[in-house]
Amino acid sequence: MFDVAGIAVEIGQALLSLALAPALVGFIRWLKARMQNRRGAPIWQPYAELRKLFRKDMVVSRQASWVFHLAPFVIFGSTIVVSLLVPVLVTPLPFNAVADLFAVVYLLLLGTAFLALAGLDTGSAFGGMGSSREMTIAAISEPAIALAILSLALAAGSTNLGEIAARTIARPSSALSPGHVMAFVALFIVMLAETGRLPVDNPATHLELTMIHEAMILEYSGPYLALVEWASWLKLFVFAMLAGNLFVPWGLATSLAPAALAVAFATTLVKLVVIAAGVAVLETRVAKLRLFRVPELLAVSFVLGLLAVASSFSLR
Amino acid sequence: MNPTALEPLFWAMCGGFAIAASGALAPAPRVARAVTAIGSVAGAAAGLWLACLVLAGAGTVSIAMPSVLAAAGGLSFHLDRLGAVFLAVIGGVTIPVAIYGFGYTGGYGRRYSMRWMSLQTGAFLLSMSLVVSAANVLTFLLAWELMAVASWLLVITEHDRPDAVRGGLWYLAMTHMGLLALLAAFFLLGGDQAGAWPFDALRDGAARLSPGTRNAIFLLALLGFGSKAGLVPVHVWLPRAHPAAPSHVSALMSAVMVKLGIYGLLRVALDLLGGGPAWWGVLLVAAGAVTALTGVLYALVDDDLKRLLAYSTVENVGLIVLGTGAGFLFLSLAQPTAAALAFAAALLHVVNHAAFKGVLFLGAGAVLHATGERDINRLGGLVKRTPWTAATFLVGALSIAALPPFNGFVSEWLLFQSFLPGVASSRASVAVLLTLGVGALALTGGLAAATFVKAFGISFLAMPRSPEAANAHEAGWAMRAGMVMLALACPALAILTVPVLSAIGGALGGVGGLPASSTTFSLGVILETPHGLARMSPVAIMAVLAAAGTGVWLAMRLVSRGSRRIDDTWGCGRIGQTSRMEYTSTAFAEPLRRIFGELYRPTDDLTVTEQPGSPYHIQAISYRTELHPWFERGIYDPLVRATQAAASRVRALQSGSVNAYLAYIVLVLVVLLGMVIGF
Amino acid sequence: MKLFTKILQIGLVTEDLAGEVRRQADRRFGRAVAIRQVDAGSCNGCEIEISGLSSPVYDLERFGLHFVASPRHADLLLVTGPVTLNMRTPLRKTWEATPDPKLVVAIGDCAHDCGVFAGSYAVAGRVQDVIPVDAVVTGCPPAPADILRGILAALGRIGEPGR
């Protein structure tokens, strides 16, 4: 278990995720800007934002308690742990022994719960509203995620992330099976809900009554804000990696050879660009759903997951 | 270690609880409380040690007392490994609860009798320990009834409160309804045998029973034990009795006593009957799913902190029964390994739930003690005023919401994994049922997270919503010690999952057709399921999470150069901030209440009073919303009304006229004489 | 699909800036500035021009500037309007809620010297009587390019914010 090279690559992989996540968000914003017929900020704009925020002062509410101060670290820490477990470049890695898909989902839920607590901590009505809506959406997206995971696990015989990727590589034809496609769509919908993208939540809104994720971070400033924003970008990156590397795992390196890693890096970038383009086009095309229409969307995701499980059963 | 060395521990346990009960003879309330606490801790420690030894393989304890109640067959005790799991839970939870109880009952001495409470507490603890070590039906039922009566008396301790007395009445009625069902079940089970019906004889004789009888026994046992455990719809006493009891008693009842319903179900249906047809498992899975969802849905919208916790107990019992049902299902489909995993997951949840529900109820008790309030909408700001309570409650809340790296996540993960072989099954009905079970499990987990973010967030964070909350004071050393012990148990149980699971696996080995020592859990820090290749390590997650969090904190100290300033909460520039501007518990649950509106069917009452003479100027608006649970509306209200109607009709017989009574006597005599002559 | 056809047909409409403004913008290209706009009683004429800044034609975001919802997230406050009596305290509280280092740019004649509302019973004073101001953009209302010039001037006063 103390495979030094492997652990080094794994930590390097997590750092790479941290480094690429702002670029992913920057790229989505740039694409959306272009589709609004304007130039938009350059792709590396989020890095400038982070750099600026880390050097700013912080203003903390006098109602805040230690929960407010603890939350950014729990959120950021749990998302980093997830980025250690999700296959980005290499698939069997030292931590892969404990890289379980349910563990990933619940680690992300840990971050969400702490963000909700931080929203309640300052006694602001906006924060409370954001927390309430965020926990609502997290709660009703849980069955959808569980069924999408279940359909993947059925095909692979396990919920271990490495196993799932390995089985799909071993059987390329399964990637186009209807169950696989439906599970992908289900996971994509859940990704939109969990990371606060349209049509569930508008990340660029300024109207507090339409906010979900943004409302909870209204009180954060300076380095805390940088941590929370970076963590939410990393969450989007992790979901994109799950969608890309679990459903289309070709390109993932199976050894630590430099050539394989280079190929893996290139294919990962391609997958990220494709998923980012998908998200950007979708965000341009659709309008935000009313809050009480979101359960219907997540119900669609749940049914797709159910059908995916059923189809993998019937094709056995 | 030879088995005879375990017997003294058994007697030490009984002796400790007897000492606790002897507080009834104490001269002063303070002495009574101290004696109760010391006796309970001593007895529980002995019981816990005994249970651990039995689980570690040191043997079993068998004590026969044929001379006691000889006419009915005599008492007999046998503590095997299955019972030892539950005895460990009893002992493990009682120690912190007893210490906490010493501090909590401090203010009771003036209004309520501490001597009675000592007797009741000692009897309650003793009876629970005897239930899990009973070896024949007589002992079991005696201990069961003693447990019911002792706990009922404890529930109505605060007898000047009408809701306590009402809750006690519901509890008493339902536990005796359950007792009737159990009597019927045991009667069917041991009908053709003589004596006190020892469990060994019943187990041997069960194979000869007809399938119809076995099914009837199962259903009756499910009704009786299910009502004790809290399965919907016979759970209605739980949200009434648990909040009404003193908080440390609520903790014991929720964390330990309802698990004895699970123990009974496992003992009768798995051990004695040895499993049954597939529909047993299907029924349990369905009942478990319905219970879990109902429990969490009503916990979500509840504003009373203790009733929220009671409904959450219902939810967790549903999860345990879900796992148990999967186990029975796999057993009937000849998949013993999968069955063993499912039962092990259920028992692990029994242990874990005891830890975090205990700390949650103790925390709620501390809040009640500090503020006198149970209504979440009148709490708030306690994280700064009662920091210890807040911290331990947070640990409990994170654990029960199944968030890593605590123990609730581990047992939830294991429950998910135990369902996988069923979803992969070749039988369509099983696959569909267990897929829906997974969906129910996931939804319950998500809703529980929302519930406990609400419970902790609104009760403890931000500003106090009432003067009582603003003047809250931290609990005393005894209460704090109890809460901290249980709060530390949550991550400890997560770290020690593998040894605990090995013990549980050993306890299940050989029971009811499960293969002996079937579960192959690797000793160490990685949890590995036997069938698939799923692996998870709570220790690794905990370590990496701590490392990541600390690393980020250090990096931030290095990188950020700014200073920190305190200012008001941003409110769009408004002047001043009051607690009226905060989110309330009702508001927090509102979106989910609307989404699940069809299940809740709330009644909303909006009254608008206008100024006289002007319909455009509003004088007052009153809004009232009420949630009447469907099972109460549909099942219990009609039942209670029918019972009352029948009773008032029967009451007509008691006319008060002596002539009428004489006529009744003559009538009955004539009928009896006729019957005797007829035979 | 008609939407995407239309997008492709229209193409980029962002105008290039001329001369000095272009040079200053390029020098600060890539910096991130978060702007919070505060309406201290204006007639909304300046707000329309400010919102024009985020339109595709002027496109504020290409310079790294963007609007935020909370002053806690902001580096720069854009204040419009003569400060009315009711908005004096909220304006002050907004400024206090913004973490350092921060800048204030007063937009419009009203923010500069109360404009046409000078001496009114409902006006408390100029923006610089309530909070310290780093740059002023006069005009009623000022054109978006002038507003942008004012913002860049304020940014030039202390160099990079967050240093």
Question: Residues B328, B358: contact at Cβ < 8 Å?
Answer: no
Closest CA–CA distance from residue A165 to any residue of chain C (Å): 35
Taking contacts as CB-CB distances below 8 angstroms, the residues of chain C near A207 are 69
- The complex scores an ipTM of 0.94
Contact A48 C7 (CB under 8 A): no
| Residue A114 CB partners (closer than 8 Å, separation 6+) | A67, A70, A71, A74, A75, A78
Show the tokens assigned to C43: 């007639």
- Reported as a single tens digit per residue, the pLDDT across C84-98 is 999 999 999 999 999
Within 8 A by CB and 6+ apart from A188, the residues are A243, A278
Q: Which residue of C has its CA nearest to B563?
A: C100
C68–chain B nearest CA distance, Å:
13
Higher pLDDT among residues A132 and B519, named by residue: A132
What is the count of structural domains for chain A? 1
Q: Nearest CB to A67: which of B383, B409, B446?
A: B383
- pLDDT band at residue A208, thresholds of 50, 70 and 90? confident
**pLDDT band (50, 70, 90) for residue A274:** very high
Per-residue confidence (pLDDT) for residue B624, from 0 to 100: 87
Distance from CA of A235 to the nearest CA of B (A): 15
Q: Which of A39, A41, A222 sits opposite C99 (nearest CB)?
A: A222
Regions of chain C short of the pLDDT cut 70: 17-30, 157-163
Q: Give residue-wise pLDDT tens across range A72-94.
A: 999 999 999 999 888 888 777 77
Q: Which chains touch B (3 or more CB pairs under 8 A)?
A: A, C
Alpha carbon of B570: minimum distance to chain C alpha carbons (Å): 7
Q: Which residues of B touch A78 (CB under 8 A)?
A: 404, 545, 548
Residue range of the domain that includes A23: 4-315
Q: What is the pLDDT of residue B191?
A: 73
Give the distance from residue A273's alpha carbon to the nearest chain C alpha carbon, in angstroms.
19
Q: Which residues of chain B have pLDDT under 50?
A: 1, 518-523
Q: Is A60 left (phi over 0), alpha (psi -120 to 50) or beta?
A: beta
Question: Is the separation of the CB atoms in B211 and B194 below 8 Å?
Answer: no
pLDDT for res C29: 41
- Interface contact C90-B568, CB threshold 8 A: no
The residue count of chain B comes to: 679
pLDDT digits (tens, 9 = 90+) for A150-165: 888 887 777 888 888 8
Q: Is A98 on the interface with B (CB under 8 A)?
A: yes
Torsion of CA B593, B595, B599, B605, to 10 degrees: 50
B577 neighbourhood in chain C, CB within 8 Å: none
A74 to chain B nearest CA, in Å?
A: 6
What integer pLDDT is reported at residue C163 of this predicted model?
A: 28
Look at the alpha carbons of B19, B24, B29, B33 in this order and tell me if their dihedral is positive or negative: positive
| Nearest neighbour of B570 by CB, restricted to C89, C91, C97 | C97
Q: What local confidence, expressed as pLDDT, does residue B523 receive?
A: 47
What does the pLDDT read at residue C73? 93
Number of A–C residue contacts, CB under 8 Å: 100
Residue B37: DSSP 8-state: H
Give the closest residue to A237 by CA, choosing from A7, A6, A14. A14
List the chains bordering chain A where 3 or more Cβ pairs fall under 8 Å: B, C
Longest dimension (CA), chain B: 104
Closest partner CB to A98 (pick from B428, B431, B536) = B536
Amino acid letter at B441?
Answer: L
pLDDT of amino acid C19? 56
Query: What pLDDT, on the 0 to 100 scale, is given for residue C21?
Result: 54
Residues A58 and A220: their CA atoms lie apart, in Å, by: 8
Q: Is B664 exposed, middle or buried (0-12, 13-18, 19+ CB in 10 A)?
A: exposed
A52-75 confidence digits (pLDDT tens): 888 888 999 999 999 999 999 999
Tell me which chain B residues have a C-beta less than 8 angstroms from the C-beta of C94: 573
Which pLDDT does position C158 carry in this prediction? Answer: 45
Quick one: which H or E segment has residue B369? helix B336-371
**Which residues in chain A have Cβ-Cβ distances shorter than 8 Å to C63?**
41
pLDDT of residue B518: 44
Residues from chain C contacting residue B573 (CB–CB below 8 Å):
87, 89-91, 93-94
φ, ψ for residue A220, nearest 5 deg: -85, 145
Q: What is the dihedral of CA A6, A12, A14, A17, to 10 degrees?
A: -130
Provide the pLDDT for residue B241: 93
Residue C160 Cα to chain centre, angstroms: 17
Quick: pLDDT tens for C7-19: 888 888 887 765 5
Of residues C72, C87, C91, nearest to B570 (C-beta)? C72
